[in-house]
Structure 1
Amino acid sequence: MRKICCYLFVALLFGTTIKAQEFRAGPLVGASFSQVDGDYFSGYNKAGFTLGAFVKRPLAKHWDIQLDIAYIQKGSREAPNPEKGKYDDYKIHLDYIQFPLVARYQYRQFSAEGGVSVGVLLGSKEEIDGTPIGDLPEHEMVPFQDIEWASVFGLNYHVNERLWINARWLYSINRIRIPYDGKIPVYDPKAHWLSRKPGQYNNNFVLTFYYAFDRIL
């Protein structure tokens, strides 16, 4: 899968068989705000960052297509709140390399986009009060899936031809972890993963700055 994603990026970047197309590429950097649907908590409380590069080309008037390759941090966080009777510091930390592919329609300085993303899990950590769940007595962390497919929707504000700001929502299409039937105390045994879609799903908003260099083709 990693090779397929890399080939896809290179093919779009160096697709010289498509004549009269103008390719542009550059870096991207941004912040990610995440939650995991299917755990006992809610709120985009897990902050992280994203860093990578992109390549895009026009398809027609007002339309273009763009592919990113980016490292991104996702996960979940519930901080202690003694006033509400919450004493555990719970975290899920997920590291992905992801490849969002979107089609975009631009009107003046604004544009809307939609597409799909494939993410390859680089690493995962789940802990309570700084202790990995797998290290707690009689607890075993349920593994996360290696591949995540996600839907992508976004809005852009184009400061100028080279610089734009993107607000993007990504939601898992496939579950990132299968239903859990154990007795980890941080989970609610009645509510945990018993929603209409059993399992866990990434749900995150990303705010990203893009900068395009001169045309490369």
Structure 2
Amino acid sequence: MEKKLLLCVFLTFLSLFTFSQNFKGGIIAGIATSQVSGDALGGLHKAGLYLGVFTQLPISSISNIKMEMNYIQKGSNNPKISENLLSDISTSYIEVPISVNYYQNEIMCFEVGLQTALLLKFSDNDLYGPIPNDQSIPFNKVDVGAFVGMNYHLTDNILLNSRISNSILPVRPHASGAIYKLNRGQYNSVLSFTLHYII
């Protein structure tokens, strides 16, 4: 099911680039800093790759709709793991954000959107390395989230994007299995910084 969805997304990108004169597209590269809310480790201490492609369609003179397909590394990092013995987390996803972008002026643009991510790989890590997955609480295969961000045009073809995103639904249950009204498990939180090159 996940492979079929990825194939559909890829074919959508291919058709948009090939058959439409109104669409613009490009490539994305940068870093994602992240944490997993609810894992007892605070702070956006996990750094990971953020690579992808995008296409966008103008809907007015000051706004557009943008669709991306990204590879992103998320998780949490415990720099004091030898002291507190709390495991940290490594995950990787294929993520598809869709956003509406509004230009404040010629160089600054604000974005808001929703994203769906398919889990590629996960591991909990202790002092000695990755813990076998059969000894860990599994992650959900799909992560649904929302985001807001800002784009700053460095040149006509290059822009700097900063974005904060958070899961809407839990990515996995708490280790204790506890469920609270507004805290039903663990959630991905990401602050990313990327360069977008318009082809």
TM-score category of the 2 structures, normalised to the smaller one: 0.7 to 0.9
Greater helix proportion: 2
**2:27 matched to 1:27?**
yes
CA contact (8 A) 2:109 2:151 kept: yes
- Matched residue of 2:5: which SS? helix
Q: 1:81 deviation in Å?
A: 7.5
Match of 1:121 among 119, 122, 132: 119
Q: 1:12 deviation in Å?
A: 5.4
Q: Report the residue type matching 2:92 in the other structure.
A: D
Identity among equivalent positions (%) equals 29
Q: 1:143 deviation in Å?
A: 0.3
Number of the residue aligned with 2:185: 199
Alignment of 1:133-152 (within 5 A): 133-134=131-132, 140-152=135-147
**1:15–1:28 distance in 2 versus 1, CA, 3 Å:** closer
**2:140 matched to 1:111?**
no
Q: 1:178 deviation in Å?
A: 1.5
> TM-score, normalised to structure 1's length?
0.81
Number of the residue aligned with 1:171: 166
* Alignment coverage as a number of residue pairs: 196
**1:193–1:165 distance in 2 versus 1, CA, 3 Å:** farther
**2:37 matched to 1:76?**
no
**2:95 matched to 1:94?**
no
CA contact (8 A) 2:32 2:72 kept: yes
**1:29–1:193 distance in 2 versus 1, CA, 3 Å:** farther
Number of the residue aligned with 1:159: 154
Alignment of 1:12-91 (within 5 A): 14-15=15-16, 22-80=22-80, 86-88=83-85, 90-91=87-88
CA contact (8 A) 1:24 1:212 kept: yes
Number of the residue aligned with 1:186: none
Q: Report the residue type matching 1:210 in the other structure.
A: H
- Matched residue of 2:139: which SS? coil
> TM-score, normalised to structure 2's length?
0.88
Q: Report the residue type matching 1:171 in the other structure.
A: N
Unaligned regions of 5+ residues in structure 1, if any?
183-191
CA contact (8 A) 2:81 2:127 kept: no
CA distance in 2, matches of 1:161, 1:3: 36
CA contact (8 A) 2:16 2:23 kept: no
Number of the residue aligned with 1:188: none
